[in-house]
Structure 1
């Protein structure tokens, strides 16, 4: 079992490295515009939502966007109220990577890695950025294939079987696992990716996978909270608002897991795609429903943590 756990840790490290390298490449392509986009076009919550979607889609990390947002609020470039639209958009943008990793590009993984690796040696910004993006993307798919190959061997161990049974039978346990795992590894995409590997082997039910996904949305708030420690009051309010937004959304959606499960089963036949779709639907609905109440939500957070 130790060797399998070691391999799982290695693939997880490859996934996180891939995310970091790809994010670095995309950020270098847009680093001069990212802060300008955020500071200039967030005077209304709906604009902030669109900016949050775009920037998170580019950086492939809602945590990174929240760290940037908390930093801008702390520096006085953004108000706490302006940050709410961005966090709503970042939740939607974070689902793009889960949709992406469900695509089967196995024959192209090795060429993508090789070409990306070669471009990493370029001294010019544009080729280097493209190389980083391609190499990081290749690492993501290598890790996903690794997760899938280890799912079946892992399930043969009694403790893992107990864990899977408990998660399948008690969805609240799945939410807790998703929250804890994401808080530790700082990537909701990685948590969802691991869940997909068990789903593909019918070791985890779709409803249990959705529960873990919901928990991952809470766990991803930890990064923004850590970034706010020691900052001004408005920066801390931004971090608290992100936590409240996801906790409320998960609380409201938790009883609807069976309905969401049946709905996404109509949209796709593959379990991993169904889970990706459920993440997208959850975040879109939560953000769209919360958007008209951005001002009231801001006052609620200020009242609680003011």
Structure 2
């Protein structure tokens, strides 16, 4: 697989929903077109920001299919395919085989807290049962399961495990993983607040929540870093920093959906239980962040 497909500004796409909780495919098409027009480098469909825990498997596959259909080959699509059940993750990967995606993003198993050996066997088993390039997703704050650099290095020896989305916010992980797994192993930040720093230090890109509402700014910032125009990129990053932080003022993707609705990108900010709409207090925080980013007067 051509590594440059997995670089730059990659959106962790929200899954738009109607007030009754059904997926809103009209809004999904609008979002995909928004990212095409904004220069987003790739889309992650039905990752955890896409509310994968509350979409059933039929919905999950349909959203990925529709995202690919709406993309029309103009933007590559990565499918979220993780689970805390190895068999379920394998089954999802199998169902994705006939969809024109470029790879899978697989979150570390949550709740059951496997050992490092358990994590290794989980990902090894998934990789052995699919030809898709696999990107590990490490987000201990959500999973209570941390894929340590030494385990990443073991997994990097498996040919179709090509990279990691690292969402610890610890930029020192980049050098450690690169030294153990090799310079060709793809390192993508999963933490918007440190994404710029990660790219500046040699990471290939950012799988971003912020990208959902400021796609063009994120695309430009990432391109500037790749061109070595660090000061220009940092100016954009500093303007977006309130968003990077406050889009997590409540559980993701609640603030992102509220902001996308406020900006007219989606027609409804609905989420599925156990998530609930953004509180009034957090709405005020998000309004201020949108103003600081220059998105609202």
Structure with more contact order per residue of length (Cα contacts < 8 Å, sep ≥ 6): 1
Q: What is the TM-score with the length of structure 1 in the denominator?
A: 0.29
Which one has a bigger Cα radius of gyration? 1
